[in-house]
Amino acid sequence: MGKSLPDEPGGAQDGGAALRRPVRTLRVKMVLLGASGVGKSSLALRFGKDQFRSTSPTVGCAYLTRVVHLSEVTLRFEIWDTAGQEKYHSVTPLYYRGAHAALLVYDLSSRESFIRAQLWLKELEKQDVPGSTVTWLVANKGDLDEGRQVSTQEGEKLAKERGLFFTETSALSGDQVNELMLAVAHRVYEHLGGEQGGLTEWRETSLGEMRHRDTSNRLSSCCRVGV
Give the Cα separation of 115 and 111 in Å (integer). 6
178 pLDDT above the threshold of 70: yes
Average pLDDT, the chain: 78
Q: Please report, for the chain, the start and end positions of each structural domain, with discontinuous segments joined by +.
A: 29-195
**Which carries the bigger pLDDT value, residue 94 or residue 136?**
136
Highest mean pLDDT of the ranges 94-103, 142-151, 209-218:
142-151
Domain 29-195 has CATH 3.40.50.300: yes
C-beta atoms surrounding 34 within 10 Å: 26
How far is residue 94's CA from residue 102's CA, in Å, rounded to a whole number? 14
Pairing assessment for the beta strands 25-33 and 13-14 based on DSSP bridges: unpaired
- How high is the pLDDT of residue 139? 98
Residue 31 bridge partners (DSSP):
80, 102
pLDDT of 154 > 90? The answer is yes
Closest CA to 141 of 177, 105, 171: 171
Contact in structure between 184 and 104 (CB atoms under 8 Å): no
Stated pTM of the model? 0.76
State residue 51's pLDDT score: 74
Mean pLDDT of 54-76: 77
The answer to which of 19-28, 140-149, 206-215 has the lowest mean pLDDT is 206-215
Question: What are the pLDDT digits (tens) for 102-118?
Answer: 999 999 999 999 999 99
Give the model's pLDDT for residue 207: 42
Quick one: what percent of the chain has pLDDT higher than 90? 45
In this prediction, what percent of the chain has a pLDDT beyond 70?
A: 69
pLDDT at 64 over 50: yes
Average pLDDT over residues 76-84: 82
